[in-house]
Chains A and B, each alone.
Chain A
């Protein structure tokens, strides 16, 4: 072989070697750990399984959250002998119906929103929940929550898993203390507080932003949902999201107007960001930050906003009742009345049935699981057996207390319950045109017209 031919071989060989070396970087080489140090007494009721049957779970949860989820059933696996495998993908929502139709769905699905759950249950893909799961849900969850796992045929299919709370209003405890502002207990007090901060004059009271790429508008839907639930009540809210009353019902128009009294009032917005039109162009993640500079006092956003706070110089922001920022729940109409909150959460449904699947479902609906998962950090659950002390932050503890309060009325985020053509399209677009100047009546009329007829 001549030297030239040798050389011809070198390049591909070298490339292959480099690629091979680079790819080994992708490997983790984590040995499967089998820590059986934990106490298996908690898991005795689920039984033990001989030849380690496999239960496959699918969902949208990914990355760190997925790792924490997997950790939450480590002891369950080692004590019962069931091998639980989890696969998280962003495509889960789009793919699950297709997979179920082909008989390729995972054993258990963590369904991220009730709209999808209803579709799957109506199509007959889900198995009714085993008796043990239903007993757990009756024991640990409120009626509201059980209702979201019950399909239109009246059968109970899916237990709730985790939860999140929307409708928080963020503020600076230091500013409130220095200026003598009180946390409002009613919507009227909130209006009075807004007027007071505006009258004090050194900055606009509210900052808001609904920008979110192609999902621009959704933070505004939370405003409207919060007002509908508080002013018109849970019954009207339920009728609204299921289209038993039209979208342009007077109660809904009133909620738009109430939200607009703040969001579309140039005296009240947009602290540190510009005028009313800047609400649309401001990204929701940046919208609350002027609170840290004292250019704004109040910001409406869900509990997850805890992770978004950052100072311009990169130093940490403390979220606590005495820290840099904290949040109170948007108040009810009447003081001392029942709290009403909107929020989100997952539902756990089974596509197949077996003893191992039943055991896994029962574990996921138990207080043991809720405590195990919340201890891992970052999330909460509405499970009443959950000890708030296990939560990883003050705000999460407060959220758990709110969710566990038997007097709290909980409703799912309305836009998740509406058909996609409204909940993830015309409602968002409606918020944008409403903030651009269209009247509440015109916007609700347009959204009503877009509601799919069949």
Chain B
């Protein structure tokens, strides 16, 4: 690239930005001058149209096309439900579905439980801010980064060599033989799940901690006067008080877990029976060139996420009614 090319490109960028500003300015000007009668509708249409168009191009059309693709093979010929038959009969694909179920049961439960427990224990303690920051920090690490960090922790070097992996070094210190953690099924799936829990616990803890602070002190004091112990106060006052937040936390983590891809891809690439739907979807569509199978997996993933989203929305609506 020469300086002239660069200048040309900069001018292009500036020009494009100017053209964008001009179009927006013109639109706003025209809306402002819209006929008095039905001006509200004109304005509504103009303001909502860009968002609707983008949704159409970026969400609805791709979703529609993916649904069609799911019924074709790699050369685009209609094959009926063959891709779905493949998904529910091939042993490797079945393992993928099973693993996804394990993930979605274990991750939300454990990370919410740990997050809730932690939030309760540090509530109103000295240095609460710092305790919170410690657990929240993994949230700031990308899934790929976390995957690489934990892959080092599980790293294996054969007996006699220096261990790089923390876990195997501990095993060696205790007098055992190093283990191929990530290659040993089924424990490897749970070792990957730990990474996800490590990331999501911080999220659960922060939201639930805020919710706990929102439980009215009067109710707690009233319960205390009634002679309840700490556990009874927790189960009968705190939990009902934060029920809405609990649901939001569990459903959000469930959705994130169903879509998990980065951790599996960086740590095992789906080998050794650790694959999950999102990883298999990518592998089939972009590595194996079987877009149909990839699309079919995408649809199953969508159908699995859908009920959780609906439940989430309904709970939130119900809460709004109570308020």
Contact = CB atoms under 8 A, between A and B. Distances in A.
A94 B291 CA distance: 12
B91 interface: yes
Contacts of B3: 24, 27, 29
A425 interface: yes
Nearest to B72: A454
A454 B271 contact: no
Contacts of B157: 274
Interface in A101-147: none
A421 B83 CA distance: 13
A424 interface: yes
A449 B272 CA distance: 19
B90 interface: yes
A390 interface: no
Contact of B288 (A23, A30, A425): A425
A420 B288 contact: yes
A230 B294 CA distance: 36
Contact of A420 (B79, B270, B287): B287
Contact of B183 (A23, A277, A450): A277
B283 A425 contact: yes
Contacts of B156: 274, 278, 281
B74 A436 contact: no
Nearest to B182: A281
B310 interface: no
Query: Which range holds the interface residue count of chain B?
Result: 35 or more
A436 B188 CA distance: 14
Contacts of A307: none
B262 to A, nearest CB: 12
A28 interface: yes
A413 B251 CA distance: 47
B12 interface: no
A452 B74 contact: yes
A287 interface: no
A275 interface: yes
Contacts of B6: 23-24, 26-27
A432 B92 contact: no
A153 interface: no
Given A27-B3, A432-B272, A452-B290, A419 B74 contact: yes
B289 A420 contact: yes
B218 interface: no
Given A213-B269, A216-B271, A449-B90, A424 B1 contact: no
Interface in B1-47: 1-3, 5-6, 10
Contacts of A277: 180, 183
B29 to A, nearest CB: 26
A233 to B, nearest CB: 29
A446 interface: yes
B290 A454 contact: no
A28 B2 CA distance: 5
B74 A421 contact: yes
A364 interface: no
A214 interface: yes
Interface string A392-432: 00000000000000000000000000011100111001001
Interface string B136-163: 0000000000000000000011110100
Given A27-B3, A30-B2, A214 B73 contact: no
Nearest to B181: A281
Nearest to A431: B271
Nearest to A277: B180
B290 A420 contact: yes
Interface of A: 20, 23-24, 26-30, 94, 213-217, 273-275, 277-278, 280-281, 419-421, 424-426, 429, 432, 436, 446, 449-450, 452-454
23 contacts: A20-B10, A26-B1, A27-B1, A27-B5, A30-B2, A214-B265, A214-B270, A215-B269, A216-B269, A216-B271, A274-B161, A277-B180, A277-B183, A281-B156, A420-B289, A421-B288, A424-B287, A424-B288, A432-B272, A446-B91, A452-B74, A453-B82, A454-B77
Which 5 residue pairs are nearest across A and B when measured between Cβ atoms?
A274-B158, A420-B289, A425-B288, A214-B269, A421-B288
